[in-house]
Amino acid sequence: MDQELIHKIKSIQWFANSGHPVKANIAADITLNMTYEKSWAKAAKRSQSIYWEKVSLEERNKLTEYLFANHPQKYKQWNEFAKQGREVIDAEVVPKISDYLQEHQLPAGIMDNVKWDIVNAIMEYNYQHEREPFFFKELLKVYESGN
């Protein structure tokens, strides 16, 4: 597992800039189109929509399909990498954002979304020599910005 990535995840100040647009210097480095929401209610609704679920699932499937077709031996390591990623998330992410979500009365689905995004960012990084990370790497930048 990429230790630099683990350090990056550990140092995220989760939701510290919520309610504010991503800072211009950070936004310039993010290649995804972003939609800014001023309220948690709207952001939560978008993040839990079927549309967003399909988009993020499709992006994850692109990686797994590519690995299966082009690097079947390395693809066999998927479950072990995912298990290690979930362990990092449970130890480093969940404790930091659980209180925030309760304090702001946010749906538990937000936690599920964050966990999904971060484990898939970890997977993209684990397979970066086989396929260039993109979608979840970009989402990680948004989280790193505190958004």
Q: What is the block-wise mean pLDDT of the chain (147 residues), using blocks of 10 residues?
A: 89 89 79 81 89 95 97 96 95 93 91 95 95 93 91
41-69 burial: b if 16+ Cβ within 10 Å, else e? eebbeebeeeeeeeebeebbeebeeebee
Specify the pLDDT at position 12: 94
Judged by DSSP in three states, 117 sits in: helix
Specify the pLDDT at position 50: 94
Which amino acid belongs to residue 12?
A: I
Specify the pLDDT at position 37: 83
Q: Return the closest-CA partner of residue 92 out of 27, 23, 1.
A: 1
- The reply to whether the predicted model has a pTM over 0.85 is yes
Query: Is the separation of the CB atoms in 6 and 126 below 8 Å?
Result: no
Q: What residue spans define the domains of the chain?
A: 3-10+39-144
